[in-house]
Structure formats: C-alpha cells, structure tokens
Structure 1
Amino acid sequence: MQGLSTSLVLIAFLAIAAPLAARFLDRVVKVPIVVFELILGILLGPSVLGWIKSTDFTDTLADFGLAMLFFVAGNEIDFALIRGRPAARATAGWAVSLAAGIGAGFLLASTPAAATIIGVALCSTALGALLPILRDAGESRSPLGVAVTALGAAGEFGPLIAISLFFSGRQPGPAAGVLLGFVALTGLAVFLASRARHTLLHSQVTRTLHTSGQFAVRSIMFILTVLVVLSMVLGLDMLLGAFAAGVLWKVAMAKAPKPERELIEAKVDAVAFGFLVPVFFIDTGIDYELHALTATPAALALVPLFLVLLLVLRGGPSLLAAPPRAPAPMKRAIMLFGATGLPIIVAVTSIGRDQDLISSGVASALVGAGMLSVLVFPLLALRQYQRGGKAPAAPEERGARGQVLGP
C-alpha cells in the first residue's frame, strides 16, 4: 500500500512537472509534453532511479488513458473534411507502409508473427499525439492539418484492424468474421445516431453542463466503456472500441449547438489530457525496459534503424496524401508528421511481449524509436512548414472546406 501511495504521488507530480518543463524550454525549442512525460517516467522508474514502481492500479489507469487518447482521436476526426481524395490517398499510403513494414520485419525477425508486429508498429501514425500539436499551432483545418488528420486516421485505425486480425488468438477467417461483425454493429450505431435528432440527449446535456450531473461526460464514459468491453469480449483490441466510441459520440453531438459542443470538448480534454493520458505516457516510461535496450550493442543499434524505417516506410508513403501542388516544405512536413508514431507501437509491442513473439530488446528499440519520433519529427515538421510550406488550398479543397466551415 505504501508503494502504491508513493507511486501515485510521484506520478501526479510528474504530470505537473512535464508541462512546466515544456514551458521552460519553449523559448528555445518546442518539445511535445508527452516527451517529458515519457522521459520523467523512465528517469524515476526502475530503469534509472527506481523511485516509482508500476502497479496493477497504475497500469489500469494507464489503460484508461490509452483508451481515452483513442477516443479523443476518433472524436476529433472531421470525416467531412478528409473524405474523398485525402482519405483515399492516406489509406493507400498506409497499405503501402504496412506491406513495406512487414517486408522489413522479415529481414529483422525470425518468425512471421514477429515480422508482422514490426510491420504493424512501423505503419502507425500517432494521431492522438499530433492533433494537440496541430491544434496548438492553429493548423487543424489548414491543408496541412487535413492531410495529417487523414494520415493519422488511416495510421491508427488501420493498425487496429491489423492487430485484431493477426493477434486475436483466432484463425484469420474467424477473426475477420468477428471484426466485420463489430464494424457492422458499430457502423449501424453510427448510422442510426446520424439520423436521429437526439433532442432528449441534447436537452439533458444542456441542463447538466454546469451542474454536478455532468450528463455529457457520464455518457461519454458509458459509451467508451461499452464499446471497449465489447471489443475485448469479441477478442479484438480494446483501442478499436475506444476509437469507435469517439466517432459515435461525435456523430451523436453533431446537431447540438456549437457552444455546447465546444464546452463538452473542453471537458473531455480536461479529463483526457489533464488526468488519464499523462498517466499513460508516464506509466509507459516507468515500464520501459532500458536495461534490455542497453544490454547489447545490437539492440541499441535497432533504435536509429527503426527511426529511419519509420521515416522511410511510413513517412515516404504519407506523401500520397499531400495536397495537389503542395510546396516542397509542406511535403517534408507531411512526411515527418506521418512518420510520428508511439501509442500503437506501445500497444503492439506489449502484445508481442505478452505472447513471447518478440524479445524485450526489439520491443524496447521499437518504443524507443517511437519516443524519438514524437520528440524529433513534429518539431522538424513545424519548422519546415513555417519556413515556406504554407500555400493556398487547391480549388477542390477550398470547396470541401467551404462546405464544412461555411463561406
């Protein structure tokens, strides 16, 4: 009990230390807060100082944080904004990345299962980590933001599908059937939600926005829990349910007044990025097996190799989603943003370690490369974009944006 209490206090301390550290360095270099959360978790965890130990309780909170991160990603995707060319080309780019990643995995791993884990990790894009960066930079709805959102949607939803197909414990045929059943059920729920007016839901949400009832937040937690549990019962990855829950909630609230939607989104951000998501990233740092990475030069050398593979195998195909006539700096920014991955890497390597499909050294190297990608790639991407990547949207994109944003 004493160890749990100490860990909880220190995790809460690191959660406030991370944004303070980011602000301290803000004038010199803009570093995403998640990087500090990971580094501080490693520093105070068993790998270095040993002041914090992972417990079942903190691991459960971290799982909720990861689920909340994917809920926010599903909730923030504007499908009307990315439909058509951006979504189609981003999906094609992801398929190329998956094939190339698995191919690279066969060169680095001894079994097909290990190669698939490496391939799925290398084809991911950390949309949940990129959306706050784009929002803070004021680029969420710019041509760059549209391209990155499409890439992130494909780079998070696609790997979740692959995880559910390849690592559910079922044969591919039955696994595909279960997955299709879940997608069909979720699609039906989204369709019905889009057709309904939700007058009762919206009125109850409005009445409790400033009271202890907080019906909106409670409804979100209910939908999130139901779909996460359903996905787990079906043997699918829980993050698939979390992502679907975000999409379902967005559709259900689409017809609510804009001020209310924005207030609810602020509440969701407070729960997610003020509490649960930091616990996930800090706990990831605590659980990081640094000794497995430094035990052999070969394991350590995998980190820069995987980082380069992320840039080449994921960043390269991401260029398919670049807007027409995009300037070279914008294309480089899109490539760097597309190569930024971490949550899916953590999830798939955890599955690999739990099933003894990959070694601790390979898992730590993949997560280490993911951490470096979050640290380096978004920073370089924003610098590239600000140096000359901004360009007027193409005519067809201006029309699409006009339909969403108005004239």
Structure 2
Amino acid sequence: MAFLGILCLILLTTLLAGHFSRKLGVPAVIGQLLVGIVLGPAILGWIQPSSFIHDFSEIGVILLMFMAGLESDIGLLKRYLRPGILVAMVGVVLPLGLVTLVSLWFHFSLLLAVFMGVIFTATSVSISVEVLRELNILDSKEGTTILAAAVVDDVLSVIILSVFVSISGENTGGNTPSLLIGFVEQILYFIGIYFVVKWIAPFLMHLSQRFLLGAAATIMSLVICLSMAYLADLIGLSAVVGSFFAGIAVGQTPYKAEIDHNMEPIGYAVFIPVFFVSIGLEMNFKGMSDALWFIIVLTIVATLTKLIGGGLGARLAGFDLASSYTVGAGMISRGEMALIIAQIGYEAKLIAPEYYSATIIVIVLTTLVAPFLLKHAAARQIQVQGQVKSHEN
C-alpha cells in the first residue's frame, strides 16, 4: 500500500505549492511541476516514476481536456478553426525544420536529427489550458484558437510520426501498420465525432436520468469521456483529442452546468495534480553537464519556433500582435505529447540513449517556460486592450 503514502505526499505538496505560487502571482501549475522536480529523481528522489503515477496522470490529463471541451463554445471553435489550422501548420513546419538543423549542427545523424524535429512538432496544451482557465480567458478568441490549433497540431504530429516510423521501419526492424488504414480510421473517427455531438451524447445523457442514482449524469459523462479517449488512443491519436471532443459533446446538452460542477472536484482533487507532478518527475540532471550546450540551444530553439510559428500563423489569420503573442505562447508547451513521441523513438531505436535524457530535459524545460510566457502574453494583451478602450473613449 506504499502508493497511498506517495499519493498523500503528492496531494499535500501540490496543495501547498499551488497556494504559494498563487500568492507570488505565478500560475499554480508551475508550483505543481516544481514539486515533481524536487521530490523526483532530479533532486530528493522520494518519488519515482511508476505505473501507478503514469495511470493516474493519464486520467488527469484526460479529465483536464474533457473540462476544456466542456467549457468551449462550439460556435467559437467553428469560427476560429481556420486560424487554428494556420497556427498549427506554421507551428509544425518551423520546429521540424529548425530543430533538425540544430541537431545536425551538433553532429547528429540525418535520421536522428529529423526525428528530433518530429519530437518538437508536438504541442501539449493541457498546461496552457490550465493557465487560461486560471486567467479566465479560455473561452476568448485566443483560447479558442489555441484549442483548435492543438487538435490540428496533434493530428499533424501523429501523421508525421507515422510516416517517419514507416519510412525508417526497415532500418529499425520494426513492423509498422499500414498508413492508409491508419488515416482511414482517423477520418472515420472525426466523422463519428459529429454523430456523438449531434445524437449519441444527448441520448446517453438523457438516458442517465432514468437511473436511480444521484451521480448518474456525471457517471455517464465519464463513460463518454473515457470511451472516446480510449478509441482515439486505439487508432493512433492522442487520448486527449477524444476527451476534448467528449467535453464538447456533453457541453451541448442541458447537463453542462451539473457536469462541470461535479467534474472539477474529481479532477483537481486527485488526478490532475498527479499529472503535473509526473512531468516534473521526468527531469533528471544525470549527464546534464555533458550535453549542457545542446540542452540550452535546443530549449531556446524549441521555445522560439513554437512561439514565432504559432504567432505567425495567428498574424496570417488576421490577429493583432498582442493576440498573436498569446496564441504563440499557448503553443509552446510540449508536455506529454512530446514525451510519448520521444519514448516511441527510444523504443524503436530512433534515438540514442545518450541523447534521450537530454531530450527529456528539453521537453520539461519548454513545458516549464510555457506558463510564464503565456501569463506575460495575457497580461500584455489585457494592457493593450485597455489602452485601445481608453483611446476610443
């Protein structure tokens, strides 16, 4: 029962860290990420990555994105889908090209250099979502564009990874599934989302009222969330894509307020803090001195390529500079998506062991930087908007 002690330690320390982070005017998620670094292998070594933490963190990020979908305005998502596509496309091309060049500069093989580029095309907006929620701008045009771009970005990253692994499969000796079958499955999945939003979710939520349980509607929403996340994972998409659209589907029903009220304590009381700590646990300073310059340069390039790429995409979509900065900052975090891709590459022998730890450190560093930049961007945007309003008056 040692996991009970670990869970108790995580919950207590994240509660304190979140409290003091807020007091210092820093997003609470930063304190929770630092808990993972301090208590994990990097410093104290009290908590080690384990299957228990992995499973809890998976549920945490699924619930976090479900709540983001629940709070999303589907009308705004449709309206800002085009900007989202532009943000995602530019935000994928720029890191893919520049991270590859940087890796070649550090004498990586061409195959490994390109794979490093593939790793840093990924975006994980789960942490950005938390910061946007904290700042009450999740349902703004910038927050909606970030969410739309994240879905497109995830699909693009999966496609690029599938193509890359398929092409390099003969070098690694791995068997890869047919790309065509994978693409067809993913297209069918997105077609299925329409039916879930339009008919299946409303029917299931209405059906839940026939059960003689007070929490029936909440349980049914979890069934929808977890099943869509599972199916997304089954066909090669990220589970968070499924949970996000499940949130949108449930959010279109009359039970939205009830689910939102009941789901928040479930997520934030247990699972979501474990998710944020799990990212910090990936940090390990072993061998960091040998690859220090690589880590510094790659962290800067990985941060700037998403910031500039996402911001440029927003500018091309007609956003002003302040809004573009916010969108770009919201796309920086690599989080669990990049960690998953790096792990796939490591298992397929696409990334050498001596570079794996350094890559994980860069992923964690970009994830740590993201909330600070996003908060600065949001504050800057509010300031600019205030100046415009006072100018108009």
Q: Which bracket does the TM-score occupy, shorter chain normalised? A: 0.7 to 0.9
Measured at CA, do residues 256 and 74 of structure 1 come closer, stay the same or move farther in structure 2, by a change above 3 Å?
Answer: closer
With normalisation by structure 1, the TM-score equals 0.78
Which of these residues, 182, 188, 197, is aligned with residue 179 of structure 1? Answer: 182
- Structure 1 partner of 2:294: 302
Which of these residues, 282, 287, 292, is aligned with residue 292 of structure 1? Answer: 287
Q: Percent identity?
A: 16
* Structure 2: distance between partners of 1:147 and 1:198: 24
User: Do the aligned partners of 1:293 and 1:364 also contact (CA within 8 Å) in 2?
Assistant: no
Q: Deviations over 1:207-234 (max 9, x none)?
A: 56x93553443453465246526744x5
Shift of 1:205: 3.2
**Which structure 1 segments of 5+ residues have no match?**
394-407
* Structure 2: distance between partners of 1:74 and 1:110: 40
- Structure 2 partner of 1:403: none
- Structure 2 partner of 1:47: 42
Which of these residues, 339, 345, 350, is aligned with residue 352 of structure 1? Answer: 345
Measured at CA, do residues 255 and 41 of structure 1 come closer, stay the same or move farther in structure 2, by a change above 3 Å?
Answer: closer
Measured at CA, do residues 213 and 52 of structure 1 come closer, stay the same or move farther in structure 2, by a change above 3 Å?
Answer: same
* Structure 2: distance between partners of 1:333 and 1:291: 34
- Structure 1 partner of 2:108: 110
Which of these residues, 133, 136, 160, is aligned with residue 135 of structure 1? Answer: 133
* Structure 2: distance between partners of 1:314 and 1:304: 16
* Structure 2: distance between partners of 1:196 and 1:280: 32
Q: Does 1:94 align with 2:91?
A: yes
Shift of 1:314: 1.3
Task: State the number of aligned residues.
Answer: 377
The alignment yields a C-alpha RMSD, in angstroms, of 3.5
* Structure 2: distance between partners of 1:54 and 1:349: 16
Shift of 1:200: 4.2
- Structure 1 partner of 2:51: 56
Secondary structure of residue in 2 paired with 1:53: coil
Which stretch of structure 1 is more off in the superposition, 165-174 or 183-192?
A: 165-174
Measured at CA, do residues 354 and 188 of structure 1 come closer, stay the same or move farther in structure 2, by a change above 3 Å?
Answer: same
Q: Deviations over 1:243-271 (max 9, x none)?
A: 124314533x35421xx212213333333
Which stretch of structure 1 is more off in the superposition, 265-274 or 40-49?
A: 265-274
Q: Does 1:373 align with 2:365?
A: no
User: Do the aligned partners of 1:22 and 1:36 also contact (CA within 8 Å) in 2?
Assistant: yes
User: Do the aligned partners of 1:64 and 1:276 also contact (CA within 8 Å) in 2?
Assistant: yes
- Structure 1 partner of 2:118: 120
Secondary structure of residue in 2 paired with 1:64: helix
User: Do the aligned partners of 2:64 and 2:126 also contact (CA within 8 Å) in 1?
Assistant: yes
Shift of 1:392: 8.2
- Structure 1 partner of 2:206: 203
User: Do the aligned partners of 2:118 and 2:160 also contact (CA within 8 Å) in 1?
Assistant: yes
**Which structure 2 segments of 5+ residues have no match?**
none
- Structure 1 partner of 2:8: 12
Which stretch of structure 1 is more off in the superposition, 301-310 or 316-325?
A: 316-325
Shift of 1:51: 1.9
Paired AA for residue 22 in structure 2: D
User: Do the aligned partners of 1:328 and 1:389 also contact (CA within 8 Å) in 2?
Assistant: no
Q: Does 1:159 align with 2:157?
A: yes
* Structure 1: distance between partners of 2:332 and 2:83: 17
